[in-house]
Structure formats: C-alpha cells, structure tokens
Amino acid sequence: DDRATFIAALPKAELHLHIEGSLEPELMFELAQRNNVAIPFANVEEVRAAYAFSNLQDFLDIYYQGMGVLHTEQDFFDLTTAYLARAHADAVRHVEIFFDPQGHTERGIAFATVVLGISRALDDALARYGITSKLIMCFLRHLSEAEADATLDEALPYLGRIDGVGLDSSEVGHPPSKFERVFARARSLDLKIVAHAGEEGPPAYVYEALDLLKVDRIDHGNRSLEDPALVARLAAAGMTLTVCPLSNLKLCVVDDMAAHPLKIMLSARLHATVNSDDPSYFGGYVNANYQAVADALDLSKAELLTLARNSFTGSFLDDAAKAKQL
Ligand code: ADE
Ligand code: ZN
C-alpha cells in the first residue's frame, strides 16, 4: 500500500544494529558446516522455532550460542556483507554497526579477525552501494569493568576503524556506574559513547548513562517515559534514542505493538529513531520495523519522515555528510 511504498523509498540511517544479531539461520548452518561446529538444531525451521523469548536474557542465551559459528575473518565478512545487502534493499544510506568483541575473544577468536572481517565488508558496501558507516564496539555489561578495559586495550591498534564504544547484554543488575572508568578512558581517546539503557532497566540507569558515561546517544531508552523530568531533560538535550520496535515486542518490553511508546516519544519531542537491533532474531530488518510500528500506531508520513530525519541528525556523520543526506 501507500505507506509501505513510502517507507520502502525513505532514505534512512540505521543506528542500532548488532552485527551478530543479523546472522540468519541459513548462514548459521553454512558456517557451522564450513567450520565444523556442532549446533543443536537439525534444520532452519528448528532454529526459527527456538526464537521465542520472554525477556532479554532468554534471547541473549541463544544469541551468544548462535555467534559460536563465526570463526574466520571471511565469516565476519560474509555476515556483514549479507546485512549490508539487506540494508541497501531497505534504502539504508548510512549504518552504525555494533559488534561484541568479547563474545568472540572469549571463544579464542582474535580481536583482529573480527574487526578486519567486518571493516572489509563496510569498505565494500561504500564502493558497491555508497553506504557510509561507523563501527561501534560494545562492552558486555555482564562481564567486569576490568574485562572491558582489557578489550579497550585490544582495540587500540584499530582505533582508525572504530568510531565509538557502547554497552550491551544483560541490563538489570549491571548499571552504567559499573563501567564509569572505562568509558572515561574511551572518551579520552575521542571515541563516541553510547549505552543500552532503559530497555529492561529503570530510569536511574538512563540518568547514569547521561551523568556518568556522558553518552552521545541512548540505545532503547523506553523506560525513560516513567520519569517526566528525565523526558524533559532528554528532549532539551536533543538526545537521540535508538528505538527498536520488533525487538521490544519479541523481548516483551511491550505487550503489544499497539502499546509501543514511539508515538508518545515523538509527541514529547524526544529524538526517536527506528532500528532493527537483531533482525534475524526479532523477525525483521529496518523497513519491517518502520512498517510494524507505523501500522500499529497509525503513524503519518510526516511522523515517518521525522523518524528518518532523526536517524541522520542523530548519527555520528560529520555536519557536511549529514547535510548531504538531509
Ligand atoms: N545484545 C544484542 N542485542 C541486545 C539488546 N537488545 N539488548 C542488550 N544487549 C543486546
Ligand atoms: Zn541492542
């Protein structure tokens, strides 16, 4: 229909995408075979059937298991190339990709293998599609700050290809304050700063992300809406929220897409964007996320355009590159 056509053609940036969460079951099987890794599924249908989650941790358990098939630089290249082809099909012009190095280094995969495979695919996508990109290294918050610090050490030779650091994995019980020092060090290295906050965790975690980590963006941020003073502060600061509608539905952050807070966020003048988070696990790439939330909340073309514009203004592109996209 008309709305689908509008969404499909809308130039957009994707700002919240875990590259390991774009691993489709077909590629999982191919890589399992290529690398001789056993996986506990007989076929692609069984994999998809296992993707029924009641919370974030349910998902994370299967997400860390899934990434176990990634071994070589070529695997990371193939994974990233497949995502970029899908992004291009969705009129994505700019991507800011998260990766979880600790999910790989703890399995004995070299940091270099991961970064070089991903970044070679990003270079290709610029040449092939004109898609620009930033790369954001996330620390796993269920691990210690010392382990995050060691990961930042490993990243030092690659800071020419890494634009920012983020914070992901199990949120509740692992507040931003746990990582205050390593983020201060990342800031001193001129890295951009983001953090998942307010996905399952309380508004206090969003305050900590702002005040202690000094984030440039908040990933998710849904539970900020419980605190009017926080909403006012985020709006006044022009803070971008990277919202992920299908993720929120699959992880039971919302009970129903009709109950999704995106429209309330826009009404409150929050700089919300729409993103796919882990599209293979949550059932849709970025356009499917726009479509699902637009249908459920009856978003207007003006609102959809605002969301897409927010994705560029909230990106880490420089002002000249933003101006070209807007
Ligand atoms: N890792 C991958 N996706 C995530 C999410 N939505 N929240 C926290 N950690 C994640
Ligand atoms: Zn995420």
User: Which of 24, 199, 200, 208 is an active site residue?
Assistant: 199
106 classed as catalytic: no
- What ligand has the least distance to the C-alpha of 171? 1
pLDDT tens string 216-267 = 999 999 999 999 999 999 999 999 999 999 999 999 999 999 999 999 999 9
**CATH for the 2-22+52-313 domain, from 3.40.50.300, 3.40.50.2300, 3.20.20.140, 3.40.50.720:** 3.20.20.140
Residue type, 91: A
Q: How far is CA 168 from CA 18, 136, 163, 263, in A?
A: 10, 11, 16, 25
151's tokens: 């990961």
Q: What is the pLDDT of residue 294?
A: 98
Percent of the chain at pLDDT exceeding 90: 99
| 196 annotated binding-site participant | yes
CA 196 – ligand 2 centroid, Å: 7
Q: Where are the domains of the chain?
A: 2-22+52-313
* pLDDT band, very low/low/confident/very high, at 215 (cuts 50, 70, 90): very high
pLDDT tens string 6-57 = 999 999 999 999 999 999 999 999 999 999 999 999 999 999 999 999 999 9
Q: What is the pLDDT of residue 176?
A: 99
* pLDDT band, very low/low/confident/very high, at 326 (cuts 50, 70, 90): confident
ipTM of the complex model = 0.98
pLDDT tens string 102-133 = 999 999 999 999 999 999 999 999 999 999 99
- Provide the 10 A C-beta neighbour count for residue 261: 22
pLDDT at position 270 over 90: yes
Average per-residue pLDDT in the chain? 98
Give Cβ neighbours of residue 76 (< 8 Å, ≥ 6 apart).
Answer: 19, 70, 113, 114, 116, 117, 118, 121
Closest CA to 241 of 7, 8, 16, 78: 16
119's tokens: 């970044």
Q: What are phi and psi of 136, to 5 degrees?
A: -125, 120
* pLDDT band, very low/low/confident/very high, at 85 (cuts 50, 70, 90): very high
Residue type, 9: A
Ligand 1 residue neighbourhood (C-beta within 6 Å): 18, 21, 56, 63, 168-169, 196, 199, 247, 277-278
Q: What is the pLDDT of residue 1?
A: 83
Spatial contact of 64 and 278, defined as CB atoms under 8 Å apart: no
pLDDT tens string 146-184 = 999 999 999 999 999 999 999 999 999 999 999 999 999
pLDDT at position 276 over 90: yes
